[in-house]
Amino acid sequence: MRSNGISSLLCLSIVISAIVSLPGNVSSAASYNHTHQLLYNRNLQHKRHDDFIIPESHESRNLRKSKLFPLFTIIRFTNEICRTTSEETGICYTRNQCTSLGGLAQGNCASGLGVCCRFIATCGAIVYQNGTSFQNPNYPSKYVPMGGSDVCQIRIRKQQNVCQLRLNFIAFDIEGPAATPTAAQGAANAMNDAGVCKIDSLALTSSGATVPSLCGSMNGQHLYVDFGSSDTITLNLLLGGASQKERTWNIEILTIPCNSIARAPTGCLQYFTGVSGVVESFNFQGGMHLANLDYSACVRMEDGMRFIDWSPCSPNSVRFGGGAAMIPTTPAANAACPNTLTDYLIIMQGVSFPLLAAQTNPTTSTTDRYCDLSFQQTNSYVRTSARPFLIHFRTDSAEGGTADVTSVGYCLRWQQNPQ
Ligand SMILES: *[C@@H]1O[C@H](CO)[C@@H](O)[C@H](O)[C@H]1NC(C)=O
Ligand SMILES: *[C@@H]1O[C@H](CO)[C@@H](O)[C@H](O)[C@H]1NC(C)=O
């Protein structure tokens, strides 16, 4: 059985003395319409009904007194995301629907008419439900692959009128990328595989998106993935037997309808809203950015805003491509990034503040590329009015030796401004 987005309950109406109105998200479709009511009563009298007592509303009581006694009432509520008693994500269904769909009822929703139904998917699952959590086996316990490498895959089926997924990494910690150049590859500026997800990796496949291979620590990160012309998005988690690291993951899967205002613009792997916030590169918490990145983190332009300012979260929270040499010992002024860099941020039409010596007119952008040097001075930030608001992060397939060992990635704060 699939959800069509609405649950209906057939209820026995019982007169009680309290006058209680049903809250807004619940509609008692039939109690206000006797024509409708009678049709339902006739058709459904012999069917089984859920064991609910519906407090009568003022209106329906008056209606009943004035006309006929409505024995049954059809209650409808939408299958929305809800919070379980343990503050986890569920979806609101009737108790019977929840059980037959294979969920776990954990708390109430729709003013107590529905149950907050929790769906948990683990390796091998096929996912249909909004709000499903993809968890490691025995989560919240940690997971170590037994006897060699492990593949854990789930498939998420596209539902009608759904165009996109939002994946919330509530918890995510798998083996990180290769850290430093190996001796065999030579420590001094030789090509190497530092930054590459060699042992563990999360890959997503869909015709609608190119998602980089991800690994390391991604607690609190999120991704948007378009279905494109695919009817399935596959999450493929490879866990290498070479590591005994205790892995953990809990990814909340939200399905975004095509016409939803929550839908991220095409081309945005991450999408943030609000006038200010923080964005980190993948595995920033693990201390090293990933290789082969080429993606945009977008910010919705809020009402009345014209500019967005990007500033480091803390000193040295922007470090990639060029290592120590890129960090001035006495950061007297921001400096332009050499355009030979292979790891950089693009901020279209950005202007560095405090202004570079070369810049006289603050509205003139001299570069779109930003690196460590751009964010060194206290209070430095890059401002742009180019739309859409986004930063694009690009890294190559390797780190260039010891100099890049300081490649942690970025943590940037954004602030939108009306002028
Ligand atoms: C009452 O229900 C009938 C039958 O479903 C429908 O034709 C009519 O439009 C409804 N009236 C109102 C006021 O909702
Ligand atoms: C899934 O849940 C999210 C979060 O509440 C909501 O924005 C989205 O519209 C829901 N998807 C569908 C298909 O109803």
The domain that holds 392 is classified in CATH as 2.60.120.290
Does residue 199 surpass a pLDDT of 80? yes
Out of 263, 289, 320, a domain closes at 263
Q: Are residues 316 and 396 in the same domain?
A: yes
The H helix count followed by the E strand count for the chain is 3, 28
Q: Ligand 2 mean position to 131 CA, how many Å?
A: 8
Q: Are residues 311 and 404 in the same domain?
A: yes
CA 243 to each of CA 150, 192, 200, 240, 382: distance values in angstroms, whole numbers, following the listed order: 11, 20, 9, 6, 40
Q: What is the pLDDT of residues 88-147, one digit of tens each?
A: 999 999 999 999 999 999 999 999 999 999 999 999 999 999 999 999 999 999 999 887
Calpha distance 314→44 (Å, rounded): 64
Q: Are residues 165 and 299 in the same domain?
A: no
Out of 263, 291, 313, a domain closes at 263
DSSP 8-class letter at 23:
P
The number of the ligand nearest the C-alpha atom of 259 reads 2
Does residue 50 surpass a pLDDT of 80? no
Q: Are residues 29 and 164 in the same domain?
A: no
What pLDDT band is residue 208 in, cutting at 50, 70 and 90? confident
Mean pLDDT, the chain, whole residue set: 80
Q: What is the pLDDT of residues 28-48, one digit of tens each?
A: 433 333 333 333 333 333 333
Mean pLDDT over 306-323 rounds to 85
Look at residues 83, 113, 84 and name the one whose alpha carbon lies nearest to residue 96.
113
Q: Ligand 1 mean position to 33 CA, how many Å?
A: 6
Full residue range of the structural domain in which residue 59 is found: 17-92
Calpha distance 82→231 (Å, rounded): 26
Q: What is the pLDDT of residues 365-374, one digit of tens each?
A: 667 888 887 8
Question: How does DSSP assign 62-117, residue by residue?
Answer: HHHHHS----EEEEEEE--EEE-TTS-EEEEE-HHHHHHTT-EEEEEEGGGTEEEE
Q: How would you list the strands of the sheet with 81-83, edge to edge?
A: 81-83, 89-93, 114-118, 104-109
The preferred substitution site among 33, 43, 74 for testing ligand 1, maximizing ligand atoms within 8 Å of CB, is: 33
The preferred substitution site among 80, 163, 263 for testing ligand 2, maximizing ligand atoms within 8 Å of CB, is: 80
Mean pLDDT over 75-99 rounds to 93
Q: Whose CA is nearest to atom 13 of ligand 1?
A: 33
Is 3 inside a domain boundary? no
Both tokens of residue 186? 């030579």
Q: Are residues 162 and 133 in the same domain?
A: yes
What pLDDT band is residue 380 in, cutting at 50, 70 and 90? confident
Paired strand residues for 121: 134
Q: Whose CA is nearest to atom 3 of ligand 2?
A: 254
Highest mean pLDDT among 27-36, 159-168, 315-324: 159-168
Q: What is the pLDDT of residues 52-63, one digit of tens each?
A: 334 445 555 555
Q: What is the pLDDT of residues 245-274, one digit of tens each?
A: 999 999 999 999 999 999 999 999 999 999
Is 55 inside a domain boundary? yes
Helix (H) or strand (E) holding 172: strand 162-173
Out of 240, 263, 286, a domain closes at 263
Count Cβ neighbours within 10 Å for each residue of 251-265 and write b for 16 or more, e otherwise.
bbbbbbbeeeeebbe
**Ligand 2-lining residues (CB < 6 angstroms):** 5, 81, 130, 162, 254-257, 260, 262
What pLDDT band is residue 227 in, cutting at 50, 70 and 90? very high
Contact in structure between 366 and 336 (CB atoms under 8 Å): yes
Both tokens of residue 194? 């530092």
Q: Tell me how many domains the chain contains.
A: 3
